[in-house]
């Protein structure tokens, strides 16, 4: 599957940048193209200059609202991010029109952090513009949820998340949710970790996008998972996960047919990778809430067998009890069994519902505060009514 990626704001731009890096790896390691082009959209000129892989011209790094913000961002007010995206949306459409690799693109992936101002506001507006303009290509969103400490210290971020999630859900064909908090690893400061987090965010997409683009016959699975399967799976709230189980070195060095005992450990490796993929989902959720799901098994051709595939199908069906499950195998790689899982069309998510509840309470507190100020003003005027004025 080939994506045209658009990153909005700093977080979105950096993750889009990481997708371009992933595409380079796909091209070098596998001779495959998975990203047809990548654009970064921002109100902050410094953030655009800080990217590494997205082409450094004005058609790929697009400054919006330049006249209003002088290239310095919108300071976390996502309504302004939305307004600037509406005003300058044509710039982005123009860039897409100039893209040479547009026709092989299967879908758009628009990315942003929900808690900021620019990306949070721009993502639903831009998604709507793309939907209106390119009716035959799905538009997916990938939305990054903030770290817990941000929610506690920056009240406004909750409101940004609530409004961004609602608006994105109303327009996008599917919304991938990625929780930053899930990626915090002990012993590493968060700041140093952002690049690492971004690499982990895009990692699950690697095999998933490559599998259907494979043209070398020995790497084509018995059940190839292509863009059609992915598009059929993606709807509404969506999460993605990836797991990997190393095959002991001694095993893949020894050639020839596998013995029964080796086959058993191989199935265990598959189950282990599946467990990790479910355990490392981009947002913690209950698999029983998914109405659609898919898994992709990637393993060296000699490790691939029907028992393993059957085992994985059964274990996913066991937890995603209400889902239509699509699957595929990708006989590729060395030394490890890898599993990618997508749970989609989630009918429930505790985290998302919590954001909406917190946003509503933020709005009512903000209203009360504003009301309070008016009341106090009235109160003072009322209080000095009977005092003579010297004027």
Ligand X SMILES: Nc1nc2c(ncn2[C@@H]2O[C@H](COP(=O)(O)OP(=O)(O)OP(=O)(O)O)[C@@H](O)[C@H]2O)c(=O)[nH]1
Pick 117 or 212: Cβ nearer ligand X: 117
CB of 180 to ligand X, least distance (A): 5
Dihedrals phi, psi of 32, to nearest 5 degrees: -125, 145
Q: Which does 74 bind (CB under 5 to 8 A by kind): Mg ion, ligand X, none?
A: ligand X
CA torsion angle 139 142 143 148 (round to 10): 170
According to CB under 6 A, which one of 36, 163, 198, 344 is a site residue for ligand X? 198
Number of residues that bind ligand X (CB under 6 A): 25
CB of 57 to ligand X, least distance (A): 20
Pick 190 or 325: Cβ nearer Mg ion: 190
Pick 6 or 294: Cβ nearer ligand X: 6
Helix, strand or coil for residue 80?
helix
Pick 65 or 73: Cβ nearer Mg ion: 73
Give 116-132 as a DSSP string. SSHHHHHHHHHHHHHHH
Question: Cα separation of 64 and 158, whole Å?
Answer: 24
CB of 206 to ligand X, least distance (A): 17
Q: Applying CB under 6 A, does 9 fall inside the site for ligand X?
A: yes
Q: Applying CB under 5 A, does 10 fall inside the site for Mg ion?
A: yes
CB of 293 to ligand X, least distance (A): 24
Q: Which range touches ligand X (CB under 6 A), out of 4-12, 85-93, 230-238, 360-368?
A: 4-12
Q: Which residues contact 99 (CB under 8 A, 6 or more apart)?
A: 4, 36, 37
According to CB under 6 A, which one of 140, 147, 159, 205 is a site residue for ligand X? 147
According to CB under 6 A, which one of 3, 4, 5, 11 is a site residue for ligand X? 11
Q: Which of residues 166-195 bind ligand X (CB under 6 A)?
A: 180, 194
Q: Applying CB under 5 A, does 73 fall inside the site for Mg ion?
A: yes
Question: Cα separation of 256 and 9, whole Å?
Answer: 52
Question: Cα separation of 180 and 144, whole Å?
Answer: 7
Write the binding mask 57 to 96 for ligand X: x where contact by CB under 6 A, - elsewhere.
----------------xxxx--------------------
Question: Cα separation of 20 and 54, whole Å?
Answer: 7
Question: Cα separation of 252 and 267, whole Å?
Answer: 15
Pick 44 or 83: Cβ nearer Mg ion: 44
Q: Which does 194 bind (CB under 5 to 8 A by kind): ligand X, Mg ion, none?
A: ligand X
Q: Which of residues 107-126 bind ligand X (CB under 6 A)?
A: 113, 115-120
Helix (H) or strand (E) holding 389: none
Q: Which does 163 bind (CB under 5 to 8 A by kind): Mg ion, ligand X, none?
A: none
Q: Which of residues 26-65 bind Mg ion (CB under 5 A)?
A: 44
Q: Applying CB under 6 A, does 14 fall inside the site for ligand X?
A: yes
Spatial CA neighbour of 126 closest among 72, 74, 181, 87: 87
Under 8 Å between Cβ of 5 and 109: yes
**DSSP structure class, residue 72:** B
Query: Among the residues of the chain, which ranges form H helices?
Result: 9-25, 45-49, 66-69, 78-98, 118-133, 148-153, 155-171, 190-202, 205-211, 227-233, 249-253, 260-279, 306-319, 350-383
Q: Which range touches ligand X (CB under 6 A), out of 91-99, 140-148, 211-219, 308-316?
A: 140-148
Interface residues toward ligand X, by CB under 6 A? 9-11, 14, 43-44, 73-76, 113, 115-120, 144, 146-147, 150, 180, 194, 197-198
């Amino acid at each position: 599957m080939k994506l045209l990626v658009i990153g909005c704001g700093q977080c979105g731009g950096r993750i889009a940048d990481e997708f371009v890096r992933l595409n380079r790896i796909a091209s070098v390691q596998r001779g495959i193209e998975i990203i047809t082009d990548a654009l970064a959209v921002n109100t902050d000129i410094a953030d655009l200059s800080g990217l590494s892989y997205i082409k450094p011209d004005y058609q790929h790094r697009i400054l919006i609202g330049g006249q209003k913000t002088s290239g310095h961002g919108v300071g976390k007010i996502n309504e302004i991010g939305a307004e600037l995206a509406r005003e300058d949306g044509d710039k982005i459409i123009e860039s897409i029109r100039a893209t040479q690799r547009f026709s092989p693109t299967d879908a758009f992936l628009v990315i942003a952090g929900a808690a900021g101002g620019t990306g949070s506001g721009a993502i639903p507006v831009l998604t709507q513009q793309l939907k209106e303009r390119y009716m035959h290509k799905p538009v997916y969103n990938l939305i990054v949820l903030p770290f817990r400490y941000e929610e506690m210290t920056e009240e406004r971020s909750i409101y940004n998340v609530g409004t961004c999630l609602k608006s994105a859900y109303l327009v996008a064909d599917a919304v991938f949710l990625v929780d930053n908090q899930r990626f915090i690893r002990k012993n590493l400061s968060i700041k140093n970790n952002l690049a690492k987090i971004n690499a982990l965010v895009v990692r699950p997409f690697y095999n998933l996008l490559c599998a259907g683009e494979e043209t070398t016959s020995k790497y084509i699975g018995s059940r190839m998972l292509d863009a059609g399967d992915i598009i059929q799976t993606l709807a509404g709230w969506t999460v993605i996960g990836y797991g990997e189980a190393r095959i002991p070195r001694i095993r893949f060095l020894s050639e020839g047919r596998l013995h029964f005992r080796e086959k058993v450990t191989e199935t265990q490796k598959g189950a282990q990778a599946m467990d990790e993929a479910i355990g490392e989902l981009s947002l913690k959720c209950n698999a029983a809430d998914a109405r659609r799901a898919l898994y992709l098994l990637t393993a060296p051709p000699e490790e691939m067998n029907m028992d393993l595939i059957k085992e994985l199908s059964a274990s996913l069906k066991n937890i995603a009890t209400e889902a239509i499950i699509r699957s595929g195998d990708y006989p590729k790689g060395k030394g490890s069994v890898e599993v990618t899982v997508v749970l989609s069309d989630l009918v429930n998510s505790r985290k998302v519902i919590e954001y909406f509840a917190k946003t509503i309470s933020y709005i009512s507190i903000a209203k009360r505060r504003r009301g309070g100020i008016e009341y106090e003003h009235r109160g003072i005027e009322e209080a000095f009514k009977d005092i003579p004025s010297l004027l």
